[in-house]
Structures are given as structure tokens and as C-alpha cells.
A = this chain, B = another copy of it.
Amino acid sequence: MTDIYVKNGFLLTMQGEGVGSIQDGAVAIEGNTIVAVGKTADLDKEYGGAEHVFDAKGKAVLPGFVDAHVHTSNTLIRGEGQDVPEIEWMLKTQAPFGPHHRPGDRLLGSALGVLEAVKSGTTCFGEIGGNMAPAAEKVFGPSGVRAHLANTINEIGPGSRPDPHKPYIFFSDIGERKLKESIEFIDEWEGAFDGRITTMFSPHAADMMSEELLLRVKQEANERGMMSHIHIAQGGREAIQINLRYGTTIVKHLDSIGFLDNTIIGAHCHQTSDEEVALLAKSGMRYVSCPASIAVIDGITPPLALYLASGGVSAGIGSDQASGNNHHNMLVEMKVAALLNKCRHTDPTVLPAWKMLRIATIEGAETIGLGDSIGSLEPGKKADLLLLNLKVPHMMPIITTPVPNVAPNIVYSARGDEVETVIIDGNIVVRDREVLTMDEEKVMEDAQKASTAITESAAEDFFKADSYLAKAVKKGLL
């Protein structure tokens, strides 16, 4: 028997080259799988008696969003690190808070980040971090979302970075331990929670480990038919280190050692020349761009449109972290991504709405290696989808000719609260805008308490670091 049947909706299936729209469309779900997609009139007879029937009249029905590069664990310091020079963000606004996080705090942050994201339609999280097992067990698993996770591997330890202008000191024992833990994480968690948790490798960044270990991680991944998710060309500190060690740029270095191919998910890539972006695209590397986060932190539009125009195989977008971007909201992210890229190229045709929707769904899924199972509405795919209310003032009127405006309105006008229902892996996770799998009040309350403890305890260190932002606070501007 059919478990869930969604009917009468404006379907954006992502089948074909564009958004694959079907008016008066329906989707049938059995277990965790989509079994039929088509016109309501054609499907009603067979699936109308499903256990749960959703009437999607006046609603868009589309695949859940894939947030392809995200660190939900940074959510407890939302709003503490904006509007500072690039060089200060990590060292003067993020670092002072790090040591004041207590064990378990990052999980509370992660729960808050997942809560806000799922309410605005994110169904899959491409998250990498220091130790993902507790997050998989306590946050991603129980909340019902899909997560593609990796433990980051590096050789950085206490005293590694006494002077940013000299080569970092690497600790090979730390690298070995992290690689081992990473493999243990993969062995334990791949396929957990009915397959909602999947895994990858993550060499942290090329400046934070030896070339040997970097290539070994890639080899371990390749031997398992898995992907490696890495930060590339993400800041001035990285550029300095790579130049000190190898006398070249990060992209040229990674290319020269044969690291770049289509098993690599490269995040950011914004401190790059146009030629380097072309090199990345031609290498087969898959690209995750975090437009809003990098615009806030670096004042740079990452080369999403350029990568695609240069022949890049597949790109997704990510919200990165709430301590930079400030929120996990793929609807606003799509608008920001399109507008920043249009302005980077002085070309309003760049990244049209239909393409942004694909990047946030099917192409994002392909980028992180899940394109076969999620990202579109078609029979055989996992049932990750959302219902988005169009009958609100800012999404009206609904127009079907000459331009079907559901896609442009979702990209350029939706902002999150239109998302009413979210189904992940065939389970109803959000209903009437309420998350059924989490205690929303408790998540917010726990996060607030932990955040207050962290920020009060870190305040002295923060002001000692004397950032641009600390000066603004002292002046009373905020």
C-alpha cells in the first residue's frame, strides 16, 4: 500500500534539463522510495487511497534542498563574526570562542542549525567536522534528516602555527590518528539510520597536512569508491603556507600532484584566478560554492558561474556556518548566489532561476555523490521532498503563461516560512511548519543556555583579540 500521496501540486521534478515542471502533479511514496510521479489525473486512481494524502493545491512540490557544505556545529555564536577584515575573521572573531565551548556544546549548536535548516527545506546536509560520530548519533540520525558526513583529517596540533608566515609544524601521529578515526567513522556509520547517514573522506585542506598524507587520504577514498571533500583556496593563510612549502598556488599545486579529479569535492575555491577556476573545472573536480558565507567573510563572490561556464562537471551550494553566513537557509542562499554571480560577470542572464534550483537540488546531490539516490522527483529515488505554500502575498500571483513563475518566485522571493511540509526518506519530518522529530522549544532553550555560558566566558578573550568588530562594539555601534 502507498504510504504517502501528494496531489494537485506545482511539481518541480528536476527531471530533464530544467526544473521539469508538471502542473497539477502528484507524487506517490512507498516506504522510503518514490514510486510514481505524474499528473494527478493519471495517478489518483492507483494512489488516491494512500495512508497520508497531502493536497498540494496552491503549493509547489520539489526535491528537498541539498546543503552541500555546512558546519552546523558553529551555530551557538551566530552573529559574533560579521563585518571584519578577512584576516581577522578566523583569528580574532572565531578563535576566541573555540576553547570556551564545553563538551557537548557543539551538538547543541548543530541541533539548532539542523532545526532552522529543515524548517526552510533542507533535507540533506554535507557536513564535515572534527568528530562527526556524536553528531550522527545524536543530531542527524534522530532528527530524521539525511546527512553525508566526514571527519576532517589534518596534522595540526598544539604549537603547529606559532607564526603564520613560517611553514606550519605537522604532527604525523595526529594525522595517522585522524585518518584511522576517519576510517572507523566510515565503517561504523556508512548506511546508518536506514541509509540516511552516508560518509566520505575529508582531508581538511592542503595547507594543514603533508602532501603524502593528502594523497594517501585520496587513495583510501578511491579504494573504497568514495569521495574526498576538501577546502580549497579559502583564504590568505592557506595561500601563504602553500607558497612557502611548494612555491606555487594551491590550485597549481593540487593539479601538479594529480590530486584533482571527479572524486574530489572542492569547497570554496574563491581565492583563484579565472585561469585556475578553468583548471579546476577541467580537472573534473566537483565544486561546492558558499556564496553568502564567503561574501560575508571575504568580500568575494566565489566562482560558481565561472566554474560552470568553464566546463565544470557539477556544482552545489552550501550555507557554510552561522558564525559567518549567519543562517542555514537555502532559499535565501539561492537568491544571493544568483545576484552575486550576475554582478561578478555584469550579466543578468548568469545563473537563472531554473539553474539555481537545480544546483540546490539535483546538481548539489550529484556534486556530493548522492545524485543516484536523491535530488529529483522520479520513481526509484529516495522520498526527500517539500511542499511550499505559494498562496502568500510575496509568492502571488501564480502565473502559468507566458512565464511559469513558480521557479523564479521560489528563487527570488521565497525566504523559508513558505515551507509547510518536509518529507525525508519517506517520513514526514515537518508538518504545518512544525518539526515533528525535534522538541523545538528545548533545542532553542538548550542552545541559548550553552551559548550564554560560552559567550560570557569568552568575552574577555574576544575583546583582548581587539578585532574591528570589537572596536565597533566598544563604540556602541551595535
Interface residue ranges, A against B (CB under 8 Å): 16-19, 21, 76-86, 89, 112, 115-116, 119-120, 292, 295-301, 322, 325-329, 332, 335-336, 338-340, 342-350, 352-354, 391-394, 396-399, 401-409, 412-413, 415-417, 440, 443-444, 447-448, 450-452, 455-456, 458-459, 462-463, 468-470, 472-473, 475-478
Interface contact B352-A116, CB-CB below 8 Å: no
Interface contact B402-A296, CB-CB below 8 Å: no
Point out the residue from B339, B349, B402, B415 that lies within 8 Å of A470, measured CB to CB: B402
Point out the residue from B336, B397, B463 that lies within 8 Å of A76, measured CB to CB: B397
Point out the residue from B329, B336, B340, B448 that lies within 8 Å of A397, measured CB to CB: B448
Give me 15 other A-B pairs in contact (C-beta within 8 A), A299-B348, A326-B409, A402-B455 excluded. Answer: A18-B476, A79-B409, A82-B408, A112-B396, A112-B397, A116-B393, A120-B394, A295-B348, A297-B348, A299-B350, A326-B412, A354-B472, A393-B443, A402-B462, A408-B478
Q: How far is B83's CA from A408's CA once the two chains are assembled, in angstroms?
A: 9
Interface contact A342-B299, CB-CB below 8 Å: yes
Q: Output the nearest chain B residue to A82 by Cβ-Cβ distance.
A: B408
Point out the residue from B84, B298, B413, B473 that lies within 8 Å of A327, measured CB to CB: B413
Interface contact A397-B299, CB-CB below 8 Å: no
Nearest-neighbour CB distance to chain B for A380, whole angstroms, equals: 22
**Contacts of A336 on B, CB cut-off 8 Å?**
335-336, 339
Pick the most buried of A392, A405, A440, A444: most chain B CB atoms within 10 A of its CB: A405
Interface contact B343-A300, CB-CB below 8 Å: yes
Can you show 28 pairs from A to B with CB atoms below 8 A apart? A18-B477, A78-B397, A80-B403, A81-B403, A112-B393, A112-B396, A115-B393, A295-B340, A296-B412, A299-B349, A299-B350, A300-B346, A325-B412, A326-B408, A327-B413, A328-B394, A329-B413, A332-B415, A340-B340, A343-B344, A352-B472, A393-B444, A396-B444, A397-B448, A399-B451, A404-B473, A408-B478, A415-B416
Nearest-neighbour CB distance to chain B for A375, whole angstroms, equals: 17
Interface contact B116-A348, CB-CB below 8 Å: no
**Contacts of A417 on B, CB cut-off 8 Å?**
415-417
Interface contact B340-A82, CB-CB below 8 Å: no
**Contacts of A413 on B, CB cut-off 8 Å?**
78-79, 322, 326-327, 329
Nearest-neighbour CB distance to chain B for A397, whole angstroms, equals: 4
Q: How far is B115's CA from A35's CA once the two chains are assembled, in angstroms?
A: 40
**Contacts of A16 on B, CB cut-off 8 Å?**
476
Interface contact A452-B397, CB-CB below 8 Å: yes
**Contacts of A404 on B, CB cut-off 8 Å?**
473, 478
Q: How far is B350's CA from A307's CA once the two chains are assembled, in angstroms?
A: 26
**Contacts of A340 on B, CB cut-off 8 Å?**
295, 339-340, 343
Interface contact A19-B477, CB-CB below 8 Å: yes
**Contacts of A342 on B, CB cut-off 8 Å?**
295-296, 299
**Contacts of A299 on B, CB cut-off 8 Å?**
342-343, 345-350
Which 9 pairs, one residue from A and one from B, show the smallest C-beta to C-beta distance? Answer: A79-B405, A18-B477, A326-B412, A397-B451, A83-B352, A415-B415, A116-B393, A417-B417, A327-B413
Interface contact B119-A477, CB-CB below 8 Å: no
Q: How far is B397's CA from A395's CA once the two chains are assembled, in angstroms?
A: 29
Q: Given the known A-B contacts A343-B344, A408-B478, are A468 and B349 also in contact in the complex, defined by CB atoms under 8 Å?
A: yes
**Contacts of A399 on B, CB cut-off 8 Å?**
77-80, 451-452, 455
Q: Output the nearest chain B residue to A16 by Cβ-Cβ distance.
A: B476
Q: How far is B409's CA from A412's CA once the two chains are assembled, in angstroms?
A: 20
Nearest-neighbour CB distance to chain B for A133, whole angstroms, equals: 24
Q: Output the nearest chain B residue to A474 by Cβ-Cβ distance.
A: B402
Q: How far is B477's CA from A412's CA once the two chains are assembled, in angstroms?
A: 16
Q: How far is B405's CA from A455's CA once the two chains are assembled, in angstroms?
A: 11
Nearest-neighbour CB distance to chain B for A62, whole angstroms, equals: 13
Q: Given the known A-B contacts A18-B478, A82-B412, A472-B354, are A459 and B402 also in contact in the complex, defined by CB atoms under 8 Å?
A: yes
